[in-house]
Amino acid sequence: MIEEIESLYRNRAILEKRMAQQSPKQVLVDALCDDLDAFLEYESQITGSYIRSQCKVIGRKQYLFMIPEGITLLQLINQNGRLSRNQIEEIYKQLLQALHQIHIKYSLGRCFHVGNIYYHNNSIQMAAFGFYPNLQLIPPEFLERGEQSQNRIYSQSIDVWLVGCIIYQLFTGQVLNSFKTLKEYRTFYNQIQSQLIEEDWKNRLLKMLHPTEAQRCTFFQMHIHHEISNSYQEDIKEFYKNIFLTQNYSSLIKMRELIDDNYIEWAVPKEFTKQMELPKVLNPFRYRIQRPNPNPKIQENIAPYPRIANTTDYYSQPIQPSPPIEDLPLDDPPIQDLSIENRQIENPPIDPIDQSPQPLMQYLDLGFLPYRCRDYNDFIKFKDFWIELHFESYKWYLMNSLKQHIEQQEIKSPVETLAVYCLLKMAVLMRQEFVSQWNNEFLNFDDELWKNFKNSILWENFKTSIQAKKFFKDLQNQLNADLSIINDNYQLCDFTNPSNEDKQLFNSIKTIINMPEQKQNSDNFKIPYRKTLRRLYHSIKNSCQQDCDNKLQLTLLQLKFIICMGISSIFSPKKREVIFIQVKRAQNISNFDNPYYLEQEFFRQQDANILNNQIKIIEEEFFQSSS
């Protein structure tokens, strides 16, 4: 059945099921064309407490999806039948929170249903990603328009309807199957009155599942039912009242689905089971899909998913990496004596205006970065500047990666929960300051680099370029999304009944954490941020000394923590060339001018001692010299 799905819905995307080293199942998606790559990149920005960590970039256009722990709601229903009201209300609340994170990203049609929502330790994880033809059930408005209609539009009310279907199945213990006609659906709808469901919930279900789309309740009305009253909940209500219903989601969905006939990309994970077989009636391409040609001529779509890329230069050519070092042994001692600021960079920077043809080496893909230059010519024209922007982008990527790692822990200590908030808050503050600097035309880069760049015509040309505008727009979109969840993350922090050690930490940082927003900046927030990460850093360091079996993984985690502790300045041009000398030796490069060397190469080191050497250099050269 899986082979049939892959054959029907993709002829360029390659899926492979693998087992991770520590046992959780993984799904590997190899996005071999720009359309699927653009869509998955956008989906990767949608995160939240109850949403599966969307993906991890493991190579050029390769995305790794984790299959969540626990069982699906479908399995839960089959095992237990009806669930208790308390269980259902908690799931309902979590569903609404997860959907809010999806909706603020203007994404709909993620085909969520009881078969791909996981349940573990009284918490859900929405694992759906893909397209709305994967729906478990056919909405009545699609039945009303006729099964052969090719003009179905996924609307906001379908998400309301899907929530109603899930809650109905949890209350009754009955798994719903596809409705074939509108008459059949109306029969189902009318029998809801006779179900043994509490009246208040029965009335809600009747509103959510109404056959007429216009008469269904809205997400705004669904959130009003909550008794919670706080600023975060009020922000959600404001979003659904004034923003959600005014957005033109349909155009985004159509762009996602109307892909060239020569290749139709679908990300179908191999976790699908027989119960999740895709109903062919919902396939909008059912009459024009042919079995894939084993050697198709790829016709790249010139307009990938909106807000991901808008130009024909998307992934046009690879970027030139640094030249290798000829004779630099791996075991050379770290540079001593000179202060970081006065040490010389080994090679002078390449002239940013030099556009002469150069032989291209293997592209060191920056696809894992949320914001980056996608055009080779644009990169070469403003190379020195783009290098610094890529490191800025990498700071936010690395912090988010560490935050997601902590969030995935089954049982989180109060300090770990606080660390999640601190990582998100620091990333928000740093990006806010970057946006302000960008608008004021004074970026906090290397003084000489910025002075030369700003005083020439390069800055004017750069800031009006398509790539720069896209970089800044994507940054603002992600910043706005993170601002909408920052209060939610803070509410998860548990300051009640702390241990003596935790209490001492909380008391030392609470003044700054509770400081009015208008007075907060990344410099003063650095105190609670570093103190919290340092606690976990030393905890991991102790575990690393005791746990020989997981020494490599723990050492890598320790390295990521200490880098994030110094994230505000550790990647500045002069410092990174000295601080990351071990990375340069291991990767045989003269200039550390691409975060790829660290993220995609050095972090995959199989020698814990090499990772440990880099940790020691950061401890001695960065933190001790800065103290």
Segments making up each domain of the chain, as ranges = 2-66, 71-253, 340-626
Per-residue pLDDT tens over the stretch 40-67: 666 666 777 888 765 666 666 666 666 6
pLDDT in the model for residue 364: 59
Per-residue pLDDT tens over the stretch 442-456: 787 777 777 777 777
pLDDT in the model for residue 155: 77
Per the structure block, which two tokens stand in for 228?
């919670």
Whether 589 contacts 324, CB under 8 Å: yes
pLDDT in the model for residue 370: 72
CATH superfamily membership of 71-253: Transferase(Phosphotransferase) domain 1 (1.10.510.10)
Q: Provide the mean pLDDT of the chain.
A: 72
pTM of the model: 0.49
d(CA 560, CA 568): 14
Across the beta sheet with 56-59, what order do the strands follow? 14-19, 25-30, 62-66, 56-59
Q: What are the distances in angstroms from CA 304 to CA 37, 102, 251, 373? A: 9, 20, 13, 16
Whether 231 contacts 214, CB under 8 Å: no
**Which stretch of 77-86, 311-320, 548-557 has the lowest confidence by average pLDDT?**
311-320
Per-residue pLDDT tens over the stretch 100-144: 888 887 677 566 888 878 898 889 988 755 444 445 677 888 776
Which pLDDT band holds residue 340 (cuts at 50, 70, 90)?
A: very low
pLDDT in the model for residue 358: 35
pLDDT in the model for residue 426: 94
pLDDT in the model for residue 296: 31
> Would you tell me the crossing angle of helices 551-565 and 608-617 to the nearest 10 degrees?
20
Question: Which among 63, 77, 64 has a CA at the least distance from the CA of 20?
Answer: 64
Highest-scoring range by mean pLDDT, 252-261, 268-277, 299-308, 598-607? 598-607
Which pLDDT band holds residue 363 (cuts at 50, 70, 90)?
A: very low
Q: How many percent of the chain have pLDDT more than 70?
A: 64
Higher per-residue confidence, 281 vs 100: 100
* Structure-token match 């970065």, residue found: 369
Whether 179 contacts 137, CB under 8 Å: yes
Whether 540 contacts 554, CB under 8 Å: yes
pLDDT in the model for residue 25: 59
Buried b (16+ CB within 10 A) or exposed e, 18-52: eeeeeeebbbbbbbbbbbbbbbbbbbbbbbbbbbb
Residue 484's φ and ψ, nearest 5 degrees, are: -75, -15
